[in-house]
Amino acid sequence: MAQQDDEDKAEHPPQVTVCVIAYNSGPTLRTCLQRLGAQTFRDFEALVIDNDSPDPGDAAIAAEFPWVRLIRNTENLGFTGAGNQGAREGRGRWYVLLNPDAYAEPDWLAKLVEAAGRHPQVASFTSRQMVEGEPGLLDGLGDVMSITGIPYRGGYLNPDQGQAREGEVFSPCGAAMMIDRQLFLELGGFDEDFFCYGEDVDLGYRLQLAGEPTLLVPDATIHHVGSASSGGRKSEFAVFHGTRNRFWVLFKNTPALLLPLVVPLHLASLVLIYLKKDNRPHIRLILRAVAAAFAGAPKMFRSRAAVQRRRKAGLGEISRAMTWNPRDLSGRRPVIRPLRALR
């Protein structure tokens, strides 16, 4: 009977692979999996990758759920390495990434799959994210790229005023995204040099360059704690990797004619941000991150050559996908555009 079950699984792979990457996730992981197990859409497999967490509780929590396939790594591959591992291990047509501190509404997966059915030409989708424990407060409506080269989650920490509508955003947020698994692999998945932070924006930028839009599905909702595994949004880990990786996103992906504009604007914006009183304690850390970004620039420019060879979108399309309005960045305003007609 067990052999027959294995044969059935091989012949009839699930429609969706959901991957949860755990690292010191603790009790948020249990809640995440409880909510995942309550989904109305059932044609999915669930992978939990324990990324060599020093907290042995992560694997024990995942083992409480018999429908979860637990993968235990012997080293921490970062979100990028484990995310690529999940895509290789998965069997679904669609690859879904869900943070261990993200709690899905019961119809979350159903809404993502329904959107894919309505838009068969679209291969990348992102969710409506609310702040867990703060009713009515947005965590994000897809990621936005500003002309300064600083990405942000659209609507982050803004009141939800019903502004969410289905439409294109610059890139998906890795906390709760769905992408065609084969396309993800063909694009090279996440850049493992990033390790953590900014890898979803880098992927989204490569999708843009390849002419592949990302669609916000506003009725596919998760509630996000945020930075539960990395010590908080302003931890040294988050600040260093976030700062370094933002430069790398620009070096790899920005069209050549935009680079002379974007990089100086990015540096100027960074100075303005970290001269603020609350950010001054991080100045030395920021300088180390900038030094690391430029030290890694040659490798990023080598990666850039392969990225630009796959490029299908013109300069105008990439420019329109960004926001040029400084008020969007300062107010973290969502930027959602009507879905373009695809070739």
Find the mean pLDDT for residues 71-79: 96
C-alpha span between 77 and 82 (Å, rounded):
6
The conformation of residue 146, written as its DSSP 8-state character, comes to B
According to the model, what pLDDT value does residue 343 have? 58
Tell me, what DSSP letter sits at residue 55? -
CATH number of 14-224: 3.90.550.10
CB 32 within 8 A of CB 100: yes
Checking if the pLDDT of 180 tops 70, the result is: yes
Look at residue 340 in the predicted model and tell me its pLDDT: 84
User: Taking the CA of residue 235 as centre, how many other CA atoms within 13 Å lie in the half-sphere pointing to its CB?
Assistant: 12
- Which of 63, 20, 46, 291 lies closest to 174, judged by CA? 20
Mean pLDDT of 54-68: 92
Q: What is the pTM of this model?
A: 0.93
Mean pLDDT of the chain: 92
pLDDT in tens, 190-208: 999 999 999 999 999 999 9
Q: pLDDT at residue 1 above 50?
A: no
Q: Is the pLDDT of residue 94 over 60?
A: yes
Q: Kindly provide the residue ranges of all beta strands, DSSP E only, lying in 23-166, ordered along the sequence.
A: 44-50, 68-72, 94-98, 102-104, 124-131, 138-141, 143-145, 151-153
pLDDT band of 262, cuts 50, 70, 90: very high
3-state secondary structure of 40: coil
CA nearest to 247, candidates 202, 187, 313, 209: 202
The pLDDT value recorded for residue 6 is: 47
Q: At residue 210, does pLDDT exceed 80? A: yes
- 119-129 tens-digit pLDDT: 999 999 999 99
pLDDT for 176 beyond 70: yes
Per-residue pLDDT for 155 more than 70?
yes
pLDDT of residue 233: 62
Tell me the domain boundaries of the chain. Answer: 14-224, 236-311
